Chains A and B, each alone.
Chain A
Amino acid sequence: MSANLSSVLFLITGILFILALRGLSSPETSRMGNFFGITGMILAIVVSILSVDIFFSNLIYFIIALSIGGILGGIIAFKIPMTAMPQLVAGFHSLVGLAAVLVAISAYYSPDSFGLGTFQNIKTASIIEMGLGVSIGAITFTGSIIAFMKLQGLMSGSPITFPGQHYLNALLGILIISLISYLIINQSTQIFWLLIITSLLIGFLIIIPIGGADMPVVISMLNSYSGWAAAGIGFTLENTALIITGALVGSSGAILSYIMCKGMNRSFLNVILGGFGTDSTSSVSSKEKTEHKPVKSGNAEDAAFLMKNASSVIIVPGYGMAVAQAQHALREMVDKLKKNDVKVSYAIHPVAGRMPGHMNVLLAEANVPYDEVFELDNINNDFANTDVAYVIGANDVTNPVAKTDPKSPIFGMPVLDVEKCKSVLFVKRGMSPGYAGVDNELFYRDNTLMLFADAKKMTEDIVKHLD
């Protein structure tokens, strides 16, 4: 296939990918969008096969590699529970990162087959692009593995910090830039591998200080990195499809990171520097307060009574709902309430869950129609006209302190105004503060009834009492 024709076809791949993302502007068009994405990918693979000089018999190796990956990917896609989507996406990011690194190493050792020059005599522009691609790819790889391990519970979700951490990271960052620049003069294998090792190390170091509940930002950020890595390789290989895709994915991840940071009213830098919620003094003082203030607690029967007699209920789900796998029981509860002519809607905070949109997927899985699920901005005014708020597995995102106490670490974070409801039902296992280490003022309000139980068990008990 001529280089011009393949370039045009790669451009079409890029356009199909843009349409794939465009489709996600509404659930109705999204399935069509995914079809465009798949078509674009098939086109890209076919065009690349036709563009390389291959001995036909060698195609079998490619088919074997593709089949192994395809079968593994297929099994994972069908088996994975929806609650595990964050770690799945983190795991997939690590694969993109590793693939980028492998392609770059391969190009470094056989530049002639990529048309980049000869071994250790690669064109200057190409070696810079290659250096950037391999470095970002390596950072994405190790960073995503740490994120995966934290989300999967293979390592503690609490931030790991040590003295001089930021200086070390800054030093390694400078080292990476110096190594890439040095590759222009000296393309020795030692420099190239040192660059890879330093990048792998920094990927690991930048993710360990970030705590579990900041994972939505981390995943989005790694999503962005995987895109920039792809773009870096795209520049090296002079491939339009990779450049366009890298730019799309890179900006997508960056926007999601921005939305997540805004949802927590924290700067990106503040999240990345990590260590949030580890301030021991604040959690100690909140424990003391807890022991003194009175709390009203109730049981499933009280909750069922309140909701059955309400005319409207808003459900506020959070990560705790996902952990307890309570989404199906919740749906059952809502069905019963609707039979009693109670109007029910769902309110989702931007950072509920461990990745952007996590709660929406879980509710969709439990057959909750998406037009009953609302974002913070669209529902926050409705709390004042609502009888009952049912808070299940959420905590910090409902804390009124974020609006009133400038000294609070979560001050300024957009929160759901659940306290404006006539009554608030708060399902929680105990009195412990949320991730931010801040005591939730809502617990002590007169209109709050605490339901101390596992989210799933409590919801199931309420369902029984609704009969």
Chain B
Amino acid sequence: MEIDPFIFRLSIFILSIFVGYFVVWSVTPSLHTPLMSVTNAISSVIIVGAIIASFSSLDGSSISFSNILGFVAVTLAAINIFGGFLVTQRMLRMYKKKKK
């Protein structure tokens, strides 16, 4: 019997939760704010869905409701991607060690 591809995706999902669990516990508490801003930035990888939506059967002559939603979603995700990574970068640059 063939395995439903859904099971593979579910396996990836569950293993990723475990990876996330261990990786996040190893994050030093002083970097919890950058952790939140960077997880925010990476969750904007939802832009891949927005890209499909933007270009779905877009032939240049007519733009569908789905396409418009797609472009709006691309804009929102882009705010998050640029904003999230840049503000994380800005914060991380401030963490300095004691001058010896």
**Which A residues have a C-beta under 8 Å from some C-beta of B?**
10, 13-14, 17-18, 20-22, 24-27, 30-31, 33-34, 37-38, 40-41, 44-45, 47-49, 52-55, 57-58, 61-62, 65-74, 76-78, 80, 82, 85, 88-89, 92-93, 95-96, 98-100, 102-103, 105-107, 109-110, 112-114, 125, 219-220, 223, 226-227, 230-231, 233-253, 255-256, 259, 348, 350, 355-358, 360-361, 364-365, 367, 369-373, 375
Q: Give which listed residue, B5, B45, B72, B94, contacts A245 with CB less than 8 A.
A: B45
**Complex contacts, B69 vs chain A, CB 8 Å:** 102-103, 105-106
Given A41-B41, A53-B55, A364-B94, are A256 and B32 neighbors across the interface (CB < 8 Å)? yes
- Do A25 and B37 form a contact, CB below 8 Å, given A49-B51, A102-B72, A243-B16? no
- Which of B45, B57, B86 is packed against the most chain A CB atoms within 10 Å? B45
Shortest Cβ gap from B34 to chain A (Å): 6
CB distance B43 to A230 under 8 Å?
yes
Name the contact of A18 in the complex, choosing from B19, B71, B73, B79 (C-beta under 8 A).
Answer: B19
Residues of B within 8 A of A105 (CB): 66, 69
Given A89-B36, A92-B37, A249-B42: A235 and B86 within 8 A (CB)? no
B56-A102 in contact (CB<8A): no
CB distance from A364 to the nearest CB of B (A): 4
B residues sitting closer than 8 Å to A (CB atoms) are 5-6, 9, 12-14, 16-17, 19-21, 23-60, 64-67, 69-99
Flag if A45 contacts B47 (CB, 8 Å).
yes
Minimum-distance CB pairs A-B, first 9? A69-B78, A113-B56, A357-B32, A73-B83, A73-B82, A247-B16, A251-B20, A356-B32, A77-B86
Q: A65-B74, A96-B80, A370-B96 are in contact. Are A18 and B23 (CB under 8 A)?
A: yes
A103/B50 contact (C-beta < 8 A), A37-B38, A73-B81, A76-B83 known: yes
Q: Which B residues are CB-close (under 8 A) to A34?
A: 38, 85, 88-89, 92
Q: Is the beta-carbon distance between B92 and A27 smaller than 8 angstroms?
A: yes
Q: Please determine whether B48 and A106 come into contact, CB atoms closer than 8 angstroms.
A: no
Which residues of chain B are near A242, meaning CB under 8 Å?
A: 45-46, 48-49
Task: Determine whether the beta carbon of B40 is less than 8 Å from that of A109.
Answer: no
- The reply to whether A365 and B94 contact each other, CB–CB distance below 8 Å, is yes
Contacts of B37 in A (CB 8 A): 85, 88-89, 92
Distance between Cα atoms of A188 and B4 in the complex (Å): 27
Cα–Cα distance between A90 and B91 once the two chains are bound (Å): 17
Q: Which residue of A lies closest to B98 (CB)?
A: A369
**Beyond A237-B52, A357-B33, A370-B95, 12 extra complex contacts between A and B, CB < 8 Å:** A17-B42, A24-B38, A40-B42, A89-B33, A99-B50, A113-B52, A220-B36, A238-B5, A356-B32, A364-B95, A369-B99, A372-B98
Q: Which residue of B lies closest to A366 (CB)?
A: B94
Contact, CB under 8 Å: B12 / A243: yes
Partner of B45, one of A238, A241, A360: A241
Which one of B14, B20, B53, B73 has the greatest number of beta carbons of chain A within 10 Å? B20
A45-B47, A52-B55, A247-B20 known; A102+B96 contact, CB < 8 A:
no
The majority secondary structure among interface residues of chain A is: helix
**Across-interface contacts of B24 in A (CB, < 8 A):** 21, 248, 251-252, 255-256
Interfacial chain B residues near A58, Cβ < 8 Å: 55, 58, 60
* Minimal beta-carbon separation of B84 from chain A (angstroms): 6
Q: Could you tell me the distance in whole angstroms from the C-beta of A45 to the nearest C-beta in chain B?
A: 6
* Complex partner residue of B46 from A17, A82, A233, CB under 8 angstroms: A233
Asked whether B47 lies within 8 Å of A48 as measured between CB atoms, the reply is yes
Q: Chain B residues near A61: list those with CB within 8 A.
A: 54, 71
A223 touches B36 (CB 8 A): yes
Question: What's the minimum C-beta distance from A136 to chain B, rounded to whole angstroms?
Answer: 12
Tell me the bound Cα distance from A61 to B51 in angstroms. 11
Contact B88–A361 (Cβ < 8 Å): no
Asked whether A99 lies within 8 Å of B76 as measured between CB atoms, the reply is yes
Pair A357/B42 contact, Cβ less than 8 Å: no
- Smallest distance from the beta carbon of B78 to chain A beta carbons, Å? 3
A68–B82 Cα distance when bound, in Å, is: 11
Q: Is the CB of B93 within 8 A of A31?
A: yes
Q: Are B76 and A69 in contact (CB under 8 A)?
A: yes
Q: Are B46 and A96 touching (Cβ within 8 A)?
A: yes
Q: Is the CB of B79 within 8 A of A21?
A: no
Question: Which of B19, B34, B36, B76: most chain A CB closer than 10 A?
Answer: B36
Q: Are A78 and B96 in contact (CB under 8 A)?
A: no
How far does the alpha carbon of A33 sit from the alpha carbon of B31 in the complex, in Å?
Answer: 12
Residues of A within 8 A of B64 (CB): 109-110
Q: Within the assembled complex, what's the spacing in Å between the Cα atoms of A76 and B82?
A: 9
Q: Which of A21, A25, A102 contacts B50 (CB 8 A)?
A: A102
Distance (Å) between the CB of A24 and the closest chain B CB?
Answer: 4
Q: Report the minimum CB–CB distance from B55 to chain A (whole Å).
A: 5
Chain A nearest CB from B100 CB (Å) reads 10
B23 touches A233 (CB 8 A): no
Whether the Cβ atoms of B91 and A69 lie closer than 8 Å is no
- The reply to whether B75 and A65 form a contact with Cβ atoms under 8 Å apart is yes
CB distance from B96 to the nearest CB of A (A): 6
Max count, chain B CB within 10 A of own CB: residue among A38, A106, A227:
A106
**Residues of B contacting A244 in the complex (Cβ-Cβ under 8 angstroms):** 12-13, 16
- Does the CB pair A358–B33 fall under 8 Å? yes
